Amino acid sequence: MPSWLLTQTGNHAHRLVTDEFASVQARGYHYRLLATLEEFGPASQAALGRRTEIHVSDMVATVNELAGRGLVERAPDPADRRRNIITLTDAGTRQLRVLEERLAASQEALLAPLSAEERQRLTALLSTLLDHHDRRPDAADSPSR
């Protein structure tokens, strides 16, 4: 059944990405947060949580981990001292490049048996499925991906 095949392949994909990130002492949340900071710039933890779909309790732990490693800086928001603004550091940008390399390696391992054309076709088909289900009225009530 297609749903079983997608689930099993998804499990392999998750393991490959997790293993690659772990090889450089990182996790998926680290990548999501660093990539979001690079794309959108400094932001509050709440804004980062919305953009990355990382739950608030996991966001605090992730920011603490990254700040402890000097990959992000946390500073009070001048407009609202109760809120912190998170900023990507130069070390964080370098770590993001490493994580992008590890992510590319995991994608290569996952898709190794497919030709370039098959990879493009698979990506297009999966995108069509995801777009369809993300647009469904009940998709807003579903848990995040």
First to last CA, the chain: 21
Q: What is the pLDDT of residue 138?
A: 62
Q: What is the pLDDT of residue 81?
A: 82
Q: In what order do the strands lie in the sheet with 43-44?
A: 43-44, 80-88, 72-77
Task: Name the pTM for this structure.
Answer: 0.84
Low-confidence ranges of the chain (pLDDT < 50): 144-145
